[in-house]
Amino acid sequence: MIRKSSFNIIFVTISMTGGGTERVIATLSNYWCVKGHRVHILMIGGDNIAYELDESVDVRSISGATEGRAVARLCRIKKLRDEFKKDDSAIIIAMGTVVSLFSSVSALGLKNRLILSERNDPNRLNHRPIKGYEKILRNVLYSKADRIVFQTNMALECFPKRIRDIGQVIMNPIRHDLPVGKDYPERRKVVMTAGRLTEQKNHKLLIDAFLKTRNEHPEYRLEIYGEGEEKHILEEYIKDKGIEDIISFKGFSDDLLSVMRDTRIYVSSSDWEGISNSLTEAMACGMAVIATDCPMGGSAMLIRDGENGILTKVGDLDAISIALNRLMSDDAFAYDLSDQAQKLREDLIVENIAEKWEALFTYQ
């Protein structure tokens, strides 16, 4: 294995809005800058930046949304290729399926090391099933990468052997400045969740499960953090039920960790998911967590059911409601989950995760 003292690293992403993939990019970028590597972030679908970045990170928007137009797509590919050609020793890290496809085409015939990363369910593309020519094209392009990073073993197993052979499972890092959570009894009696307000996250399931606990635990409130296309629908949903006084939408927060360290219960009700950064950080901050055991197996990689969190079946309203009731009623049990969950800090500290990525930069 050849080692270099420093690298020129190019992340490619849609944008740097407030999502889990973007948080991973920001965490790794900031860490690598401190280590003396050069880091660039190329945004190909917008110019929004929601995370704080080291001042030495070169972050630029080189393309806007293509809206399916062939000319715009070709222009995006040319701009990416021009960036890659500036330094043929640069390490390209493409984050997400769409970004990986564009980056793979743009890097054809170039000497750059190309690392792709699947960030969600490989059976879907833009939240719809991927099949036919799209799946064939993806697999052909993926097979030409030097390495492919998956978040879970389940995601890796979705691909043919030629792709699995260049695959590596690397979990998401926890940022080094994660605050220490308050003692569990001192925390607010609040249930929270955080993530994009999309159909994938199934917030209605969480809302309905929370409402089933209302009579027994009127002291609890539900807070939903994030933005997305489902926001208006969800707001109307709780308005129609007349429950605005106990459920609130908090929007995107750039200080979510401070909320987590002061809050008791976190719920991830997703129908499918890679590894949820918000769930990971909630556990590391000592929250008692409930998560659906959804594909692609991210929750199950983090949670040992009944030991450091609770896993429920996907879409199971009663199971989430029962789990919420138990955490609200049994402080000793919730405290034990909280204590065990914080041990994730040791396993997923950014130094350990970044080292696994760095091994791919020179792996032959």
Question: What value does the mean pLDDT of the chain take?
Answer: 94
Which of 10, 13, 27, 8 has the alpha carbon at shortest distance from 100? 13
Q: In what order do the strands lie in the sheet with 288-292?
A: 247-251, 221-225, 188-194, 263-268, 288-292, 310-312
What would the pLDDT profile of 38-90 be if each residue is shown by its tens digit? 999 999 998 999 899 999 999 999 998 898 899 999 999 999 999 999 999 99
Token digits of residue 319? 């199971």
The answer to whether residues 158 and 193 belong to one domain is no
**266, 323: one domain:** yes
Give the bridge partners for 8, in sequence order.
Answer: 38
Q: Closest Cα partner for 13 from 3, 28, 2, 1?
A: 28
Whether residue 64 contacts residue 86, with contact meaning beta carbons closer than 8 Å, is answered with no
| Cα 235 to Cα 237: distance, rounded to the nearest angstrom | 5
pLDDT band at 25 (very low <50, low <70, confident <90, very high): very high
Q: Are 157 and 211 found together in one domain?
A: no
* Same-domain status, 28 and 107: yes
Output the domain CATH number for residue 199: 3.40.50.2000
Residue 3 in any domain: the answer is: no
Confidence of residue 5 (pLDDT cuts 50, 70, 90): confident
The arithmetic mean of pLDDT across residues 266-285, rounded, is 94
d(CA 315, CA 205): 7
To which H or E segment does residue 175 belong?
Answer: none
Residue 1: inside a domain, yes or no? no
Output the six-digit token pair for 221.
């409130």
pLDDT bracket for residue 1 (50, 70, 90): very low
Quick check: 309 and 303 in contact, CB under 8 A? yes
CA atoms within 13 A on the CB side of 226: 19
Query: Could you tell me which of 94, 82, 97 has the C-alpha nearest to residue 146?
Result: 94
162, 266: one domain: no
Q: How many domains does the chain divide into?
A: 2
- Report yes or no: 321 and 213 within 8 Å, Cβ to Cβ: yes
Residues 17 and 166 in one domain: yes
- Find out whether 243 and 211 touch, Cβ atoms under 8 Å: yes
- pLDDT band (50, 70, 90) for residue 364: low
Q: Are residues 210 and 165 in the same domain?
A: no
Amino acid found at 67: E
| Residue 158 domain boundaries | 8-174+349-362
- Contacts of residue 38, defined as CB under 8 A and 6 or more positions apart, other chains included, come to 6, 7, 8, 9, 56, 58
Report yes or no: 346 and 176 within 8 Å, Cβ to Cβ. no
Global pTM reads: 0.88
What is the C-alpha to C-alpha distance for residues 217 and 324, in angstroms, rounded to an integer? Answer: 10
Residue 165, H or E segment: none
What is the model's pLDDT at position 311?
98
